[in-house]
Amino acid sequence: MPERSISVIIPALNEERTIAATVSASLKARGIAEVLVVDDKSTDRTVMLARRAGATVITSGIKGKGASMQDGLAAAKGDIIVFVDADIKNFSTGIIDAVTQPLLEDRCDFVKSAYGRKSGRVTELLCKPLLAELFPSLLSFKQPLSGIIAGKKKFFMKANFENDYGVDVGILIDMVNAGARVMEVDVGYIAHKMKAWRQLGGMAQEVARSIIKRASITNKVVQNGIVAEASLIGGMLAKGPEVAFPMEKVAFLDIDGTVLKDRFIYSFARAKGFTDDLVSAVSSSADPYARTRSIASLMRGFSRDDVTFFARHMPFSRGAGRLIANLRRHGYLTVLMSDGYESVAYEVAELVHADRVIANRLHWNSGLCTGAIDINPLYLPSAEGCTHHPVCKLTAAMRFCRMHSVDFEKTFAIGDSDNDRCLLRFANVSYAYLPASDEVASAAKYVINDLADVKVF
């Protein structure tokens, strides 16, 4: 058997407390050719300490764990790849040896780690129930969300790296679908840095989306309740401050034309010279899925950096930031909603300090948009959501509230366009801001021309 070389890849963001020990332990493992730390633009001493410990440090071109993993994979020289979390407090050389031994002996093509700590509630209440319905052969894996993995590089090259918390279970499914021989190895007790409980709702959505996408679920199946309803997604988190944001009120805010003064896709099209193509795509089909995909195809070839830079420099509606701050002061969880793109929505949310986003996801490859898009599962049809539209913000808002045990009577909504009408009609408090039509105006409880006129209680 030819001699194999091993590359250890450690995605890292502000992990100065653990990075040096993780690098040092990795370098002592058998057959290690290199240790690559892929830094996600840390602001602490992570980079300096990683280099001092002997790692090669590269800077990720795009923020996010999945993008960092891909950047590391592209730079790696070894034919066996090990991905390691940077936040393990008790990391040891034995962990690397345990996950690489079966690969060096050619007993498998991919190794998923399991460890002594109990699985979290996202794993037990969301991930495993979804796998039971959609990928029952994977139920034998104790910790499908484990981030310590190893495998042959040729198989990793076939995987689709989600750029969020769905990356680890996504790779597991991709490996099985690619025909890899997969093995789970116990690496002993692992002491991770625990995620803040406020993060777990978003984490659960990302894990669900990763599994749903790989199952190629039809709208009918989603509508029948296998994934999108409370029995699975809605039951993913038990009540309790350690895992779920204990929200009582939720405010849903439209992005394009409400939080933002203009609509991203039209502004971007004008700047990049594809307005005529956009107009054609918008009028191309009455089917909202086909129309959304047609519009997304126009984004093909644009870089993520270009898109996010443009989003960050779009003008806001006057008073948008103050409105969101006021809602949060009054106990609302603020959710930005868009039938556009997550990459834009997250930039806007960061600038105005909103809590969550609900939007669709563009596909990226090496930092460039492929033109493909995933519809956010929350928007998909539901017997308990909007009965008039196949894609509707009302359905997404009602699902979101069920997921977090919020009474829909305690919701606030604001928007400006026909896409907002259903949500404005049924939210407890609703505002039509500079409404695009009389129908939008009549759907809301109040009509305003200035965000300063919103009354928050």
pLDDT the model gives residue 95: 95
pLDDT at 243 over 50: no
- Name which residue leads in pLDDT, 4 or 74: 74
pLDDT at 230 over 70: no
pLDDT at 99 over 60: yes
* Residue 116 pLDDT class (50, 70, 90 cuts): low
pLDDT the model gives residue 400: 86
The average pLDDT across 91-104 equals 96
* Residue 403 pLDDT class (50, 70, 90 cuts): confident
Q: Are residues 51 and 142 in the same domain?
A: yes
Sign of the C-alpha dihedral computed for residues 104, 106, 109 and 111 taken in this order = negative
Q: Are residues 158 and 262 in the same domain?
A: no
Q: In the chain, what percentage of residues exceed pLDDT 70?
A: 89
Q: Are residues 255 and 383 in the same domain?
A: yes
Total domain count, the chain: 2
214 assigned to some structural domain: no
pLDDT the model gives residue 219: 40
Give the residue from 196, 223, 238 where a domain finishes.
196
Q: What is the CATH number of the domain that holds 141?
A: 3.90.550.10
The average pLDDT across 62-82 equals 92
On whether the pTM is more than 0.85, the answer is no
- Name which residue leads in pLDDT, 228 or 338: 338
- Chain mean position to CA 241: 22
Instruction: Give 303's DSSP letter.
Output: B
pLDDT at 258 over 80: yes
Q: Are residues 291 and 437 in the same domain?
A: yes
The average pLDDT across 349-369 equals 90
Beta bridge partners of 429: 412
Q: Are the C-beta atoms of 373 and 281 separated by less than 8 Å?
A: no
Q: Are residues 271 and 386 in the same domain?
A: yes
88 assigned to some structural domain: yes
Give the residue from 134, 164, 196 where a domain finishes.
196
83 assigned to some structural domain: yes
Q: Are the C-beta atoms of 197 and 241 separated by less than 8 Å?
A: yes
DSSP string, 326-356: HHHHTTEEEEEEEEEEHHHHHHHHHHHT-SE
DSSP string, 229-270: SIIIIITSS-SSTTTS---SEEEEEETBTTTBSS-HHHHHHH
| Structural domain span for residue 316 | 247-453
pLDDT the model gives residue 199: 55
